[in-house]
Structure 1
Amino acid sequence: MPPPLPEGGGHGMMMDDERIRSGPERLKPVVQNVRGVADGAGTMVPPELPVAESLGEKKGFFAKVGSGLDWVFGFVALLVLVAGCSVVPVLNFLSLGYLLHVSGTIARTGRFRDGFIGVRKASVLGSIAAGVWLVVWPARLISKMWKDAELIAPGSGIAKAWHAGLVVMIVITLVHVLWACARGGKLRHFLWPQPLRFVRWLRAPQKFGLMQSRVTDYIVGLRLPFYFWLGLRGFVGALAWLIVPVGILLAATRLPVGGSVLMSMFGGLLLLVVAIHLPFLQARFAQTDRFGAMFELWEVRRLFVRAPLAFWFSLLITLLFAVPLYLLKIELTPRELAWLPSLLFVLFIFPARVLTGWAMSRAARREAPRHWFPRWVARLGIVPVALAYTLFVYFTPYLSWNGAWSLLEQHAFLVPAPLMAL
């Protein structure tokens, strides 16, 4: 037998159920009706689209737009950082290592988006640089006023007052910068310092330990030793391939006309062969992280028959984009502006590395060679491309400010620096 119902029968259960439903669920129809009346024009808001969800979608849209702008800003900052490192001795191996890692990553994954490495981290550095540039302007203006006061009335009370104000402003600016960096280094952190939050942060325990941990994690995440070691090995491997043909071309400039022509033809033929294979050997090295892969010529030739047209197109872009970089060396660039042409160099070299990794990934995904027709079309197309590049490199000493030594600046394969930054 079923157990007897409590006093009141089902009514008591219904009342308990009503009490359970009390709250947001009971108020939902009322809220929907009120919203329908408020909308006017006879348009009722559907129950399946509550206000919170609509606001969440709007918030998500603006968050996506902000994230996209942050990514673009980070990519620009990344290019500037790579260009800046490329003109500094020793640090230029970081730029070469990063570019090699880009091609190697795309060769492994086959996705273009995986080649944009470290964009978010570069966005933080770019935001800090832009924020510091903005917040130091008051100190600059006060410094100018102090110097003018000292020039007009040295040692006067007004000059001393401006000097004291400058000291105070420098301290405030320094605290402002440190606080913005502690909050994350975004540009908005520099524009609005949130002083009340700063006071609460000063009272918080273990604040400096947490800050140190965040800074350490960020610096470790940059992977600077990895990029340096990759760039150094990539440079040594490329130099091992280039030293013989470039050395022959360099020696030919010292010989009489007859011997110079024959020696230049021999060196140019060797450079042609190296130029055809070296970009893919470097991508293979970055893909496997094995220095021996820099000399696995048979592996590159095996991959070529699987994606011949992709190999041809990537080689065309690599060698074609290297040509304008030689034209920038017609005039000597001032040392203080050396990073500007290097920025253009990186803009040309970056897509070439991306396409090289893409060609390697297409070949790796296929198991069988392509039809003989695209293979021979690519073979016949690669030869004139490499020949044109070799001829341009041969005439480079007659155009460059550095003369015959410009033969050492193989921008398509070595560090992306225009001013003998090997």
Structure 2
Amino acid sequence: MSAVNSSWQAKELVLTKPSFSPSGLNSGDTGLVASESASPPRSGLIVRVAAGLVNAWEWCFGAISMIVILAFLATVPILNLMSLGYLLEVGGRIARTGKFSQGFIGIRKAARIGSIVAGAWLMFLPLRLLSDAWQSAWLIDPTSQQTRVLWFVTMIATGMVGLHVAWACYRGGRLRHFIWPAPIRFFKTIFHGGMYRHAREGTLSFIKELHLWHYFSLGVRGFFGTLAWLLAPVVWMIGARQISEPGIAFVVSLPGMVMFAFVLLYLPFLQAHFADENRFKALFELGTVRRLFRQAPLAWWSALLITLLFALPLYLLKVEMIDREIAWLPSLLFVVFIFPARLLAGWALARAKKREQPAHFLLRWLSRFAAIPVVFSYIFFMYLFLYISWRGADSLLEQHAFLVPVPFLGA
């Protein structure tokens, strides 16, 4: 027993042993505080881990929301240019910074939009069920007491749910704001006043931070500049397809295929260069892009391979015409496959800009020769898909890898 007590006392002495500062003053309490801060309490660690998990969940939810938003915009005429502008900005942002993390633009704001939509949908779901019950009662007996009661309850519930959704958006629009109404804060805010001014300023500030006009402007300029590159070879191939004899049609289309192959070699990087510089003329600075290619040929070949490889499976979604009401569903796949290609195009351009000297000539020529089968394989499979696409030869204009992430002629 004494041995145990002496051992415990020795440990206590070690814990309370005074430490001395350089000035020679006793600072035992300071040493004890320092030892406690060196090993944070378990509750603090749990809070940090929980905060990290919540932060990671918000980012993942924002990424999913961004994909859905881009897919929805891509199916709406005119607004689909905004979706194209965002994808172009992704490559341009990485080309400017050289960081993949900079390519995920507006993820937090997309999470906020997604939480508002999801929260409002969940709140209005019981209201829709109640409305269906009232309509069913009205069809059975419009003058019954039950019908009048259901109508009254539906009107009251509509007002309350609408007020709750507006209050949740006012507080920030996160999912937790839709779950808990915070009634005490609600009445305090009402009595304090200034709700309308605060809501108006917050909404306008949020919309301004979305930079919608920038993405739309970038998309419009990028669309017409890209179309200028694609128009000549695509129109040539479409014209050749009008020849009834397949063999002659193929031979006539060969010059168009060669022109198209040349465009494919540089167009992804011309688009990234355009988004990086934010100048329309940058889309046609072929000499600059060719010079940059010599400085990072393997990175450019990898980006070209992924861009064309990920674009091929999407042609299968053009086999049959899709109803406009559900056109955004296949557009999800378009965005998911095209987004990594934009990231890699910007990354390849960033690597080239960081290097001052060209790569070894063997790497340059190896990349050039390796790019030839890549582009011609893409053209070969694209040509085969013409026979199963519901648009036929006109689907050549639907270059989703470079234009909007769905057929720009309409879904």
Q: Normalized against structure 1, the TM-score is what?
A: 0.87
Rounded Cα–Cα distance in structure 2 between residues aligned with 1:47 and 1:177: 45
Whether 2:380 is the aligned partner of 1:391: answer yes
Whether 2:408 is the aligned partner of 1:415: answer no
Rounded Cα–Cα distance in structure 2 between residues aligned with 1:247 and 1:205: 62
Assess if the C-alpha contact under 8 Å between 1:268 and 1:394 holds in 2: no
Matches within 5 A, 1:307-386: 307-386=296-375
Question: What stretches of structure 1 of length at least 5 have no aligned partner?
Answer: 1-27, 34-44
Whether 2:96 is the aligned partner of 1:119: answer no
Of 404-413 and 329-338, the range deviating more from structure 2: 329-338
Question: Which residue of structure 1 lines up, in the alignment, with residue 184 of structure 2?
Answer: 196
Rounded Cα–Cα distance in structure 2 between residues aligned with 1:90 and 1:316: 30
Rounded Cα–Cα distance in structure 2 between residues aligned with 1:354 and 1:421: 26
Rounded Cα–Cα distance in structure 1 between residues aligned with 2:393 and 2:90: 31
Q: After superposition, what is the alpha-carbon deviation per residue over 1:371-416, rounded to whole angstroms, capped at 9, x for unaligned?
A: 1222122111100000111112222321101111101101111111
Alpha carbons of 1:328 and 1:404: their partners in 2 closer, same or farther (altered >3 Å)? same
Assess if the C-alpha contact under 8 Å between 1:319 and 1:386 holds in 2: yes
Assess if the C-alpha contact under 8 Å between 1:276 and 1:382 holds in 2: yes
Assess if the C-alpha contact under 8 Å between 1:92 and 1:421 holds in 2: no
Of 325-334 and 68-77, the range deviating more from structure 2: 325-334
Question: Which residue of structure 2 lines up, in the alignment, with residue 231 of structure 1?
Answer: 219
Question: Which residue of structure 2 lines up, in the alignment, with residue 221 of structure 1?
Answer: 209
Whether 2:277 is the aligned partner of 1:277: answer no
Which is higher, the Rg of structure 1 or of structure 2?
Answer: 1
> Which of 229, 232, 237 is equivalent to 1:241?
229
Alpha carbons of 1:366 and 1:49: their partners in 2 closer, same or farther (altered >3 Å)? closer
Q: After superposition, what is the alpha-carbon deviation per residue over 1:219-273, rounded to whole angstroms, capped at 9, x for unaligned?
A: 0011111000000000011000000000000111122436523320010000000
> Which of 51, 73, 76 is equivalent to 1:63?
51
Assess if the C-alpha contact under 8 Å between 1:127 and 1:187 holds in 2: yes
Alpha carbons of 1:351 and 1:194: their partners in 2 closer, same or farther (altered >3 Å)? same
Letter in 2 for 1:416: P
1:62 is displaced (CA, Å) by 1.2
Of 378-387 and 330-339, the range deviating more from structure 2: 330-339
Rounded Cα–Cα distance in structure 1 between residues aligned with 2:257 and 2:37: 72
Letter in 2 for 1:116: F
Question: Which residue of structure 1 lines up, in the alignment, with residue 70 of structure 2?
Answer: 82
Assess if the C-alpha contact under 8 Å between 1:321 and 1:349 holds in 2: yes
Q: Normalized against structure 2, the TM-score is what?
A: 0.89
Of 386-395 and 77-86, the range deviating more from structure 2: 386-395
Q: After superposition, what is the alpha-carbon deviation per residue over 1:283-323, rounded to whole angstroms, capped at 9, x for unaligned?
A: 00000001111111111111111111100000000001110
Consecutive aligned runs of 4 or more in structure 1 exceeding 6 Å deviation = none
Letter in 1 for 2:93: T
Rounded Cα–Cα distance in structure 2 between residues aligned with 1:208 and 1:168: 23
RMSD of Structure 2 on Structure 1 (CA): 1.9
SS in 1 for 2:253: helix
Assess if the C-alpha contact under 8 Å between 1:99 and 1:350 holds in 2: yes
SS in 1 for 2:386: helix
Rounded Cα–Cα distance in structure 1 between residues aligned with 2:244 and 2:51: 68
> Which of 265, 280, 288 is equivalent to 2:277?
288
Rounded Cα–Cα distance in structure 1 between residues aligned with 2:39 and 2:316: 62
1:419 is displaced (CA, Å) by 6.6
Assess if the C-alpha contact under 8 Å between 1:396 and 1:406 holds in 2: no
Assess if the C-alpha contact under 8 Å between 2:70 and 2:335 holds in 1: yes
Letter in 2 for 1:147: Q
Question: What stretches of structure 2 of length at least 5 have no aligned partner?
Answer: 1-27
Matches within 5 A, 1:87-106: 87-106=75-94
> Which of 272, 286, 291 is equivalent to 1:297?
286
Letter in 2 for 1:203: F
Rounded Cα–Cα distance in structure 1 between residues aligned with 2:83 and 2:366: 34
SS in 1 for 2:318: coil
Rounded Cα–Cα distance in structure 2 between residues aligned with 1:308 and 1:49: 49
1:216 is displaced (CA, Å) by 0.6
Rounded Cα–Cα distance in structure 2 between residues aligned with 1:221 and 1:48: 40
1:46 is displaced (CA, Å) by 4.9
Identity, % of aligned pairs?
A: 47
Aligned residues: 381
Rounded Cα–Cα distance in structure 2 between residues aligned with 1:124 and 1:375: 45
